[in-house]
């Protein structure tokens, strides 16, 4: 038994299934949002690394080794060291 | 383009990206205008070195157009890393993501910079300047063992070396190093005679002036025997004779006219050098480059500069 007109209206609306067009529109938007989202794997990885100082140092150290390799190659080409 | 999505900028990620490739940390922080010049800083090195190779050599030019750009690129790399870290710390959680804030774009930029940085250095070595380390005393007193020299490879197609030029050339004999350093003593068409220590070009003996010992203190104990100043077609350079310690070679005699497109090479340490007296004349095509700079002297930094310019 529903006394309040608003509750009566709400109960009626709940019983009405949404139009297919509306569902399609919403699902389409959701799907587009999924496509527009940036890659999530780095986002998931970053908090994990952030929790460990050693992992942060390792990442930055690795980056330094890779990013500094052109300078090492330059030093090698300049005969400052030989293999 | 700025999107509505807000994302936190993590300082150590900005630092790591910038260490991988200068400028990418700034792109991560949304500062593309600052990031791109940092990203392309490596281009400064080949451009300046190529300009240096096209100008007459001088120590000032070497420092300005070879050493300074390399130092600038190195400091740009360090600055970019520190600045990206500070920038990300300042931005914190309030960063509106840009179109280029994607892992794929960062990866692409890092890979491209690696390729172009390595490629530019290899390209400079292949076509502009190549560095060599002197392993022996065969060019003493001009070059001492351990000296590092720079040979210019950027030359006109029809470049013909002159008498007295210092060159790097491909070793024509199967033994020993692949490249040698030597001095062009005679060029195509010259009639060259060598009788013991005497060298005659077109019938005229090369002048030799004695050099006082006090003027040779820069040699330390690196050269034995006598040192003299030889003059060849107006070019003056030091040569050493009489070093008969272990490994000395016989001077031998030579009498021939140099064929076209060839040059005759002698080492400045005449008793110790392996040169055209042993393997004949050198084809012009086998010349790798002109020695231009002594950029890392082994004994004293007073010898730093243009090769053969530091004469007593």
Q: Which of A60, A62, A82 would best serve as a mutation to test chain B binding (most B beta carbons within 10 A)? A: A60
Are B55 and B69 spatial neighbours (Cβ–Cβ below 8 Å)? no
Domains of chain B: 2-127 (no CATH), 130-306 (2.10.109.10)
Is A60 touching B (CB cutoff 8 A)? yes
Is A54 touching B (CB cutoff 8 A)? no
For chains A and B, what is the number of CB pairs under 8 angstroms? 69
Burial class (CB in 10 A: 0-12, 13-18, 19+), B171: middle
User: Which chain B residue shows the shortest CA-CA distance from A66?
Assistant: B20
Is A66 touching B (CB cutoff 8 A)? yes
What angle, 0 to 180 degrees and rounded to 10, lies between the N-to-C axes of helices B11-20 and B68-91? 160
What angle, 0 to 180 degrees and rounded to 10, lies between the N-to-C axes of helices B103-127 and A53-77? 20
| Nearest alpha-carbon partner for B153 in B293, B22, B308 | B293
Q: Do A79 and B70 touch (CB under 8 A)?
A: no
Q: Do A77 and B125 touch (CB under 8 A)?
A: yes
| Statement: residue A14 has pLDDT above 60 | yes
Structure confidence by residue, pLDDT tens digits, B17-65: 999 999 999 999 999 999 999 999 999 999 999 999 999 999 999 999 9
Interface of A with B in 16-45 (CB under 8 A): 38-39, 41-42
In chain B, what residues touch A66 (CB-CB under 8 Å)?
19-20, 114
How confident is the model over B262-278, as a mean pLDDT? 90
pLDDT at site B251: 61
pLDDT at site B30: 92
Are B128 and B154 spatial neighbours (Cβ–Cβ below 8 Å)? yes
Chain B residues contacting A via beta carbons under 8 Å = 10, 12-13, 15-22, 42, 45, 70, 74, 77, 97, 101-104, 110, 114, 117-118, 121-122, 124-125, 131-133, 148, 295-296
More confident residue, B248 or A23: A23
User: Which chain B residue shows the shortest CA-CA distance from A59?
Assistant: B16
pLDDT at site B107: 94
Question: Where is average pLDDT lowest: A58-72, B4-18, B181-195?
Answer: B4-18
Query: Using 50, 70 and 90 to split pLDDT, how confident is the model at A51?
Result: confident
User: Which chain A residue shows the shortest CA-CA distance from B100?
Assistant: A38
pLDDT at site B216: 78
How confident is the model over B102-120, as a mean pLDDT? 94
In chain B, what residues touch A50 (CB-CB under 8 Å)?
10, 12
| Statement: residue B162 has pLDDT above 60 | yes
Query: Using 50, 70 and 90 to split pLDDT, how confident is the model at B69?
Result: very high
Report the mean per-residue pLDDT for chain B: 89
pLDDT at site B246: 64
More confident residue, A36 or B6: B6
Structure confidence by residue, pLDDT tens digits, B172-228: 888 878 999 999 999 999 999 998 888 999 999 999 988 887 777 777 766 677 889
User: Which chain A residue shows the shortest CA-CA distance from B104?
Assistant: A39
Residue B260: strand pairing partners:
none
DSSP state of A38: P
What angle, 0 to 180 degrees and rounded to 10, lies between the N-to-C axes of helices B32-39 and B68-91? 150
């Amino acid at each position: 038994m529903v006394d309040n007109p608003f509750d009566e209206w709400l109960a009626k609306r709940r019983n009405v299934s949404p139009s297919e067009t509306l569902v399609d529109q919403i699902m389409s938007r959701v799907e587009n949002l999924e496509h527009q989202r940036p890659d999530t794997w780095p986002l998931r990885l970053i908090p994990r690394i952030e929790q460990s100082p050693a992992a942060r140092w390792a990442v930055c150290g690795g980056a330094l080794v890779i990013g500094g390799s052109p300078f090492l190659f330059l030093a090698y080409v300049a005969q400052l060291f030989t293999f | 383009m700025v999107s509505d999505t807000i994302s936190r900028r993590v300082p150590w990620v900005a630092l790591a990206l910038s260490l991988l490739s200068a400028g990418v940390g700034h792109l991560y922080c949304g500062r593309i205008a600052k990031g791109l010049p940092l990203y392309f800083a490596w281009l400064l090195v080949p451009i300046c070195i190529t300009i240096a190779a096209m100008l007459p050599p001088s120590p000032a030019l070497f420092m300005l157009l070879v050493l300074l750009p390399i130092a600038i690129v190195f400091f740009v790399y360090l600055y970019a890393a520190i600045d990206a870290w500070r920038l990300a710390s300042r931005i914190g959680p309030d960063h509106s993501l840009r179109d280029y804030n994607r892992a794929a774009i960062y990866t692409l930029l890092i890979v491209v910079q690696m390729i172009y940085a390595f490629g530019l250095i290899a390209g400079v070595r292949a076509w502009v300047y190549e560095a060599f380390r002197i392993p022996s005393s065969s060019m003493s007193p001009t070059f001492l063992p351990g000296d590092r020299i720079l040979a210019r490879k950027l030359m006109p197609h029809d470049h013909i070396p002159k008498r007295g030029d210092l060159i790097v050339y491909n070793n024509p004999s199967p033994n020993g190093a692949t490249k040698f350093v030597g001095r062009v003593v005679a060029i195509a068409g010259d009639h060259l005679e060598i009788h013991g220590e005497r060298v005659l070009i077109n019938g005229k003996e090369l002048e030799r002036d004695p050099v006082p010992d006090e003027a040779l203190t820069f040699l330390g104990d690196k050269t034995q025997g006598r040192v003299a100043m030889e003059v060849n077609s107006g070019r003056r350079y030091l040569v050493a004779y009489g070093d008969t310690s272990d490994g000395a070679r016989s001077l031998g005699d030579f009498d021939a006219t140099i064929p076209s497109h060839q040059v005759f090479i002698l080492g400045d340490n005449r008793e110790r050098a392996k040169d055209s007296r042993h393997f004949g004349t050198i084809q012009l095509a086998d010349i790798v480059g002109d020695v231009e700079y002594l950029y890392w002297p082994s004994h004293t930094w007073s010898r730093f500069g243009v090769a053969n310019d530091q004469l007593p």
